[in-house]
Amino acid sequence: MSDERKLPYVMAFNEAVRQAMEDDPNVFCAGEDIGAFGGVFGTFGGLQAKFGAERVVDTPISEQAIIGLGVGAAVTGLRPIVDLMFMDFMCVAMDQIVNQAAKLKYMFGGEARIPLTITTAGGGGLSAAAQHSQSLEALLCHIPGLKVVHPATPYDMKGLMAACIREDNPTVMIKHKRLLGIQGPVPEERYIVPLGVANVVRPGNDVTIVAWGRMVHEATAVAEKLAGEGIQCEVIDPRTLQPLDIDTIVASAKKTNRVVVVHEAVRFGGLGAEVAAQIQEHAFDYLDAPVGRIAAPFSPVPFSPALEQHYIPDGARIEAGIRSVLFRTPVGA
């Protein structure tokens, strides 16, 4: 793969949007600061210069109206991409996301089509404190009618974003702020990573680690380390959180008999609880240990690096979680 073209995660997003706009005149983008400025993370850089201010629209700081703009344009035939600068800000727009975008099709007896992509930036690790660092994916995944995507690599970012734009349902594309700069192979040509299909990042027989977003990288690093001890971890990145590819996770659980879920969101009511519940429903007799959950403690995201580094799961906590389900520590040792 070394001779393949590499792109940062942020430019993989940008390229997916650009290609979709080239292919389909009904695709447009709207959001705060995405035009001339290109978005606060540079995700929309250069698009307004290429496509004009009518297709890459700077909006007021009005999250409800930004989502409403997308819902109204989608239900009347366009294919909008609307951006909420930080995932935390979606709380300002929850009515339009939860009560409108997600439900119009169903409430209208199936007549509506909502080909809307909501893009946003989630995750911590930038000392951005409690209103700019959250991982709120569980809130979204709880809402019938939404699809939720959270890529971990530049390759998946481009392919999943392309899939979101083509999707005839409202999707939320969560970019991870700490992954924006990571490089990886990204083909220049158009391709799709289908929604709802997990990626087995690393095969293994001893324990399954389910992780998404930045935690995929943390989990993979731990898996590499444990491989040195002869412990083979299977790392699964669902990539799409709603719909969740539970079949791939359950198949892995049946093979390894031990599962740890890792996420940045708080543990209580996080998606790890759903994954654990479904594993016990589908693979109870295969389990040799309770499903482990490595997640954030039940507090707002703290500001100080001294606190935040203890908040977000890191390699040491993930490793401890894996060892706890492996029961490799002899009793009394």
Partner 1 sequence: MSITPAVQFDLHRRMVRIRLFEEAAGRLAEAAKLPGFLHLYVGEEAVASGICGALNDDDHITSTHRGHGHLVAKGGDFNRMMAELMGKSTGYCKGKGGSMHISDLSLGMLGANGIVGAGSPIAVGAAFANKYRGRGQVAVAFFGDGATNIGAFHEAANMACALHLPIVFACENNEYGEFTPRDKTMAITDIVDRAAGYGMPGVIVDGMDVIAVHEAALEAVAKARAGGGPSLIEAKTYRFYNHHGVQNLGLKYRSDDEVAKWKERDPIFTLEDRMIENKVATRQRFDDIWAELRNDIETAIKFAEDSPLPTSDQVLVDVYSANGGN
Residues annotated catalytic, as ranges: 132
Strand order in the sheet with 233-237: 199-202, 233-237, 207-211, 259-266, 292-296
Residue choice 3, 60, 229, 306 for contact with partner 1 (CB under 8 A):
60
Rounded Cα gap, residues 285 and 264, in angstroms: 29
Among the candidate windows 58-66, 124-132, 150-158, 178-186, which touches partner 1 by CB under 8 A?
A: 58-66
Residues 119-148 close enough to bind partner 1 by CB under 8 A: 144-145, 147
Q: Does residue 169 bind partner 1 (CB under 8 A)?
A: yes
Name the pairing type of β-strands 147-149 and 240-242.
Answer: antiparallel
Q: Which residues of 54-86 are buried (b: 16+ CB within 10 A; e: fewer)?
A: ebbbebeeebebbbbbbbebbbeebbbbbbbbb
Nearer to partner 1, 68 or 213 (CB): 68
Is 99 among the residues that bind partner 1 (CB under 8 A)?
yes
Residue with Cβ nearer partner 1 (163 or 325): 163
Q: Considering beta carbons, is residue 56 or 128 the nearer one to partner 1?
A: 56
The nearest distance, CB 29 to partner 1, in angstroms, is: 12
Binding partner 1 (rule: CB under 8 A), the pick from 40, 91, 192, 227 is 192
65 binds partner 1 (CB under 8 A): yes
Check residue 109 for interaction with partner 1 (CB under 8 A).
yes
The least distance separating partner 1 from the CB of residue 41, rounded to whole angstroms, comes to 23
Rounded distance, CA 101 to CA 68, Å?
8
- Distance of alpha carbon 182 from alpha carbon 177, whole angstroms: 10
Q: Where are the beta strands (DSSP E) in the chain?
A: 6-8, 27-31, 56-58, 79-84, 117-122, 147-149, 171-176, 183-185, 199-202, 207-211, 233-237, 240-242, 259-266, 292-296
Cα–Cα nearest to 123, from 37, 198, 42, 218: 218
Which one, 77 or 228, has the nearer CB to partner 1?
A: 77
Verify binding: residue 21, partner 1, rule CB under 8 A: no
CB of 45 to partner 1, least distance (A): 22
Residue among 7, 10, 71, 180 that touches partner 1 (CB under 8 A): 71
Strands (E), 203-310: 207-211, 233-237, 240-242, 259-266, 292-296
Least distance to partner 1, CB of residue 250, Å: 21
- Kindly list the residues in this chain that would bind partner 1 in the complex (CB under 8 A): 28, 30, 54, 57, 59-60, 62-78, 80, 95-96, 99-100, 104-114, 144-145, 147, 163, 166-169, 192, 194-195
